[in-house]
Amino acid sequence: MKSGFVAIVGKPNVGKSTLLNRLIGEKVSIVSPKPQTTRNKILGILNEPDYQIIFIDTPGIHKSHNKLDEYMEKSIKVAQKDVDVLLLMIDGSKGIRQNDLDFVRQYEKSSQKVIVLVNKIDTTTFEKLYPDLAKLNSMSFVEDIIPISAKTGKNVDVLLNKIKSLLTDTTIYFDEDMYTDKSLRFMVAEMVREKALYLLQDEIPHGLAIEVVKMQDIDGVMHIDIDIICERKTHKMIIIGKNGSMLKEIGSRARIDIENLLGQKVYLQLFVKVKEDWRSSNYYVTDFGYDQTDL
C-alpha cells in the first residue's frame, strides 16, 4: 500500500477544483467561471485498493487586499508545506505566458516533487500548445509536464500514474470510506455559494459569505436554514431579485446538489443579510469557525 499528499496550486480560475473533483469522482470542491471561487484548502481523498492519495485543493494565488485574502493566502502556504508532490497548474487555453513561467520558477528550490499541469487543452490545438510546452523544458527541477483537460478527463490517468510512481509513504491517514475532510455543513454552504457565483454578476459574489444557521432532520427531511451575507443593501436587493426570483433560483439549484450530497429530501430556506465590509474583519475565520486547523 502506498500513500501521499499532493497539493494543487495555481492562479485563480485555472481549473484546480475541477481537477480535484475529476480525480476523486465526487463533487468535493465547488467550481465556477469566476476567479477566487475556492476560499479554503480542501482535501479530496482518493482510496484505491493499493493507494490512498490525499489531494489538496487550494485557493487561487492572488494579491491580498483584505483579511479574507490573507486567510486564503495562508491556506495556500499551509497546504503546500508538508506535501509529497506539488501540482502546479497553468491555464493552457491562452498560451503559456511569462508570468506562468515565473510562477513555476518560484518552486525551483522546493523539496517536494514538482509536476506542471497545462490545463484546458480541450480549448486549444497541439500545434499551438507545443511551442509553449517547450518553454518549460529548461526547468530541470520539474519531474514532468503534463497537458491535461480537467473538464474532459484527458490525460488525467497519465497524471495519476505519474503521481503513483512518485509516492513512497505507506501510512494510511484517513478512513477508507472518507473522501473529504470537510463537514457536511461546510459542503452545504459551498453548494449555495457556487450557485450564487454562477447566477450573480461581477463584484457581488466575492462579497458573499454563506452561513448554515440550522440543519435538522425532521421525519427524514433535512430542514436547512442558510444566511447569505453580503456587503451592501443594494447587493441584498439584487440577490433577492424581482419578487424573490433570484433567491428562488439560487435555492432551487442548490437544493438539487444538497439532496444529492445528503441522499435525502431537503427543505431549504435562504435569508439575505447585510454585514458591511466583513471581508476586512476576522468575521470569516471567527464566526464560521474556520480556525487554524481549517487552514
**Looking up cell 481549473, which residue turns up?**
15
- Judged by CB under 6 A, the chain residues 119 through 148 that form the site for ligand GTP are 119-120, 122-123
Q: Does 35 bind ligand GTP (CB under 6 A)?
A: yes
CB 96 within 8 A of CB 136: yes
Cβ contact 180:25 at 8 Å: no
Angle, to 10 degrees, between the axis of helix 245-262 and the axis of helix 184-199? 140
Give the shortest CB-191-to-ligand GTP separation in angstroms.
14
Site for ligand GTP in 264-283 (CB under 6 A): none
- Under rule CB under 5 A, residue 21 binds Mg ion: no
Tell me which residue of 168, 148, 151, 152 sits closest to 160, measured CA to CA.
Answer: 148
Given the complex with ligand GTP, which of 40 and 112 has the nearer CB atom?
40
Rule CB under 6 A: say whether 75 interacts with ligand GTP.
Answer: no
Burial (CB < 10 A; 0-12, 13-18, 19+), residue 113, is buried
Nearer to ligand GTP, 79 or 247 (CB): 79
Reading the block at residue 178, the C-alpha cell is 472518507
Minimum CB–partner distance for residue 169 and ligand GTP (Å): 26
Q: How far is the CB of 237 from ligand GTP (least distance, A)?
A: 26
* Residue (84 or 190) nearer to ligand GTP, CB: 190
For residue 294, give the DSSP letter.
G
Please report whether residue 37 would count as binding Mg ion according to CB under 5 A. yes
Q: Minimum CB separation from Mg ion for residue 250, in Å?
A: 19
Tell me how far, at minimum, the Cβ of 12 lies from ligand GTP, in Å.
4
Pick from 80, 149, 155, 180: which binds ligand GTP (CB under 6 A)? 149
Exposure string for 47-75, b = 16+ CB within 10 A, e = fewer: beeeebbbbbbbbbeeeeeebbbebbbbb
Write out the residues near ligand GTP by the rule CB under 6 A: 10, 12-18, 31-33, 35-38, 59-60, 119-120, 122-123, 149-151
